[in-house]
Amino acid sequence: MFHPMKSGYPSTLEGWSDIGPDAFLEHFVATARVVLCLMVVLWELTALALGLKIPNEAWLGAGTCLVVSAIWCRAYLGSTPGGLTRRTWLSSLLSYVLLATLVQSWPSMFGALVWLLPLLVAGDAIRYGLIALVLGGTLGILMFAFWFSHGTASATLAYAANAITASYIVPMCLFSIGKVARLHLNEAVRSRDLQSRFISTMSHELRTPLNAIVGSAQLVDLDGLEGSNRRLFESIKVNADTLNRRVHEVLDISAINAGHMHLVVEPFLVSTLMEAVTNACEWAANERHLTLRVDMRQTDVMVVGDVGRIEQVLINLTYNAIKFTSSGGYVLLRLSRRLGQQLGSMHLEVAVIDNGIGIDDAVKLQVFEPFHQLHAESSQHGVGLGLYIVKCITDAMGGTIGVEDNPGGGSIFTWAVELPLATHDASERAISLTRAIEVHRMKIPCMRCLVVEDIDSNLEMIAHILDRAGHQLITARDGVEGIEAVRAGDVDLVFLDLHMPNANGWDVLDQLAVNPGVAALPPIAILSADSDAASIATATRLGVLAYLTKPVSTRKLLNVIELANTLKSTGKVPRTMSYSAPGGHGHDPLLLEELRQLMPAISQRRLVAASLDGLQTASETLRAPRNASDDAVVLRQLHALKNEFKILSMHEGVHACEMASQVIRAGTSGEREIHLVLRTVDSAFSRLGAARVNDSGDPANG
In which band, very low, low, confident or very high, does the pLDDT at 472 lie, cut at 50, 70 and 90? very high
- Tens-place pLDDT, residues 594-609: 555 566 655 666 777 7
Q: DSSP strand E in 435-592: where?
A: 448-452, 472-476, 493-496, 524-528, 546-549, 577-579
Residue 132 placed within a domain: yes
Structural domains counted in the chain: 4
* Interval 269-289 mean pLDDT: 81
Residues 412 and 445 in one domain: no
The candidate with the shortest Cα–Cα distance to 684, out of 586, 621, 588, 612, is: 612
- How many Å apart are CA 580 and CA 548, to the nearest integer? 7
Least confidently predicted of 21-30, 234-243, 302-311, 483-492 = 21-30
Choose the final residue of a domain: 153, 174, 190.
190
- How many Å apart are CA 288 and CA 323, to the nearest integer? 8
Residues 9 and 147 in one domain: yes
Least confidently predicted of 68-72, 81-85, 466-470, 621-625 = 81-85
Q: 1-5 long-range CB contacts below 8 Å, 24 or more apart?
A: 1/264, 1/265, 2/262, 2/263, 2/264, 2/265, 3/262, 3/263, 3/265, 4/259, 4/261, 4/262, 4/263, 5/259, 5/261, 5/262, 5/263, 5/396
In which band, very low, low, confident or very high, does the pLDDT at 409 lie, cut at 50, 70 and 90? confident
- Check whether the bond before 600 is cis (ω within 30° of 0): no
Residues 575 and 672 in one domain: no
H or E stretch at 383: none
Residues 561 and 614 in one domain: no
Higher-confidence residue of 121 and 508: namely: 508
Higher-confidence residue of 19 and 273: namely: 273
Supply the pLDDT for residue 152.
46
- How many Å apart are CA 186 and CA 266, to the nearest integer? 38
- Tens-place pLDDT, residues 358-404: 887 777 777 877 766 665 554 445 556 778 888 888 888 889 998 88
Supply the pLDDT for residue 404.
87
In which band, very low, low, confident or very high, does the pLDDT at 471 lie, cut at 50, 70 and 90? very high
CA 434 to chain centre: 31
Choose the final residue of a domain: 524, 548, 579.
579
Residue 45 placed within a domain: yes
CB of 346 within 8 A of CB of 301? yes
Q: pLDDT at residue 30 above 70?
A: no
Supply the pLDDT for residue 628.
74
Choose the final residue of a domain: 516, 548, 579.
579
- Torsions phi, psi of 309, nearest 5? -70, -40
**Domain range enclosing 41:** 2-190
* Interval 61-70 mean pLDDT: 55
Residues 547 and 610 in one domain: no
Contacts of 166 (CB under 8 A, 6+ apart): 113, 114, 117, 118, 140, 144
Q: DSSP strand E in 421-573: where?
A: 448-452, 472-476, 493-496, 524-528, 546-549
Supply the pLDDT for residue 19.
40
Residues 414 and 534 in one domain: no
- How many Å apart are CA 558 and CA 422, to the nearest integer? 19
CB of 422 within 8 A of CB of 286? no
